[in-house]
Amino acid sequence: MSGRKILVKVGGEIFQSGELPAVAADVALAAARGDRVVMVHGGGPQATALQKALGQTPNVVAGRRITDAATLDVMKMVVGGKLNIDLCAALTAAGARPVGLTGASARAVAADKRPPRVVSGAGPEPIDFGLVGDITGVNGPLLDLLWGAGYIPVIACLGADATGQVLNVNADIVANQVGRHLGVDHLVLVTSVPGVLRDIADPGSRLARLTLAEARAAIADGTVTGGMIPKLEESMAVLDGGGIAMVHIIGKVQPGDVLRAIEAPGSLGTTLLP
């Protein structure tokens, strides 16, 4: 099977916005054309909602969820269960052949528990994030096997260590690290905003292309703020280390937008280049 290697990551908000069928249709079309496509998804909003419904109080520090045993059960139910199934169902409806996976699926995403660490925005003391993982590897042979048989791997943001302990992992990190391990040509991050904006209230202030140097400068001078900073920083790290050719940050997508971002970089959203 020939073609480009493409990773498309969707956040939990895409399941609520009505954009999922458009994304699924583009992914199905890319696969039908011979591209090797893998999907990664998160589910933060849905996990928070279920935690509250169960009487839990979500504990989020510096944008990262502290994960105790009860929280991990919620993540298993939400991202390993409902959302993975819903995404596979949307891809099936679009004519694709998805296979849902988690880190517990032959360690598709291998991870070790994150040690306590100091994180930006959380003060000087190390933070113990609990059952949260740092990725140590990706089961490339499994993904190659699925690709070779015409399937689309659909990976939930859960890793697993060598003992089978499941670990919560931020979906952007999963996407970046899976993309790096696979050497993808295009990493598409489908977000809730239409790219990197100079003014978050003005869609017309979109930055069409950013090199790594320009992205660093935009963070340093305050052009980029809020949740876009860690998203950019994580993508910059894998671009800087090689393995991913370019990253596309898009949002508010219509049918055809995922493919257009890939085929005409900078035409929508923001394309991040080395």
Query: Mean pLDDT over residues 23-50, rounded?
Result: 97
- When pLDDT is averaged across residues 181-188 and rounded to a whole number, the result is 95
pLDDT at 225 over 80: no
pLDDT band of 1, cuts 50, 70, 90 = very low
Angle between helices 84-93 and 20-32 (to 10 degrees): 60
For the chain, what is the radius of gyration of the CA atoms?
18
Q: Can you list the domains of the chain with their CATH numbers?
A: 43-182 (3.40.1160.10)
- Tell me the mean pLDDT in the region 256-267: 94
Q: What is the pLDDT of residue 233?
A: 82
Mean pLDDT, rounded, for 212-232: 82
Q: What is the pLDDT of residue 34?
A: 96
Above 70 in pLDDT, residue 89? Answer: yes
Q: Is the pLDDT of residue 74 over 90?
A: yes
Please report the pLDDT score of residue 13 as a whole number. 94
Mean pLDDT of 184-201: 86
Predicted confidence (pLDDT) at residue 163 exceeds the cutoff of 60: yes
Mean pLDDT check: name the lowest of 112-116, 150-154, 180-184, 221-225: 221-225
Among 257, 255, 266, 273, CA closest to 25 = 255
Say whether pLDDT at 228 is over 70. yes
Which H/E stretch holds residue 102? none
What's the whole-number average pLDDT of the chain? Answer: 92
Higher pLDDT, 225 or 53: 53
In this prediction, residue 129 carries a pLDDT of: 95
End-to-end CA distance of the chain: 27
pTM of the model as a whole = 0.93
pLDDT exceeds cutoff 70 at 93: yes
Does pLDDT of 125 surpass 50?
yes
pLDDT at site 243 = 82
Give me the pLDDT at residue 2, please. 56
Report CA dihedral (237, 122, 49, 37) to the nearest 10 degrees. Answer: 0
Secondary structure E strands in the chain:
5-10, 36-41, 60-61, 64-65, 98-101, 109-113, 133-138, 152-156, 158-160, 166-168, 186-191, 209-211, 246-251, 270-273
Percent of the chain topping pLDDT 70? 99
Q: pLDDT band at residue 184, thresholds of 50, 70 and 90?
A: very high
Q: Can you give the pLDDT at residue 177?
A: 93
Who has greater pLDDT, 137 or 218?
137
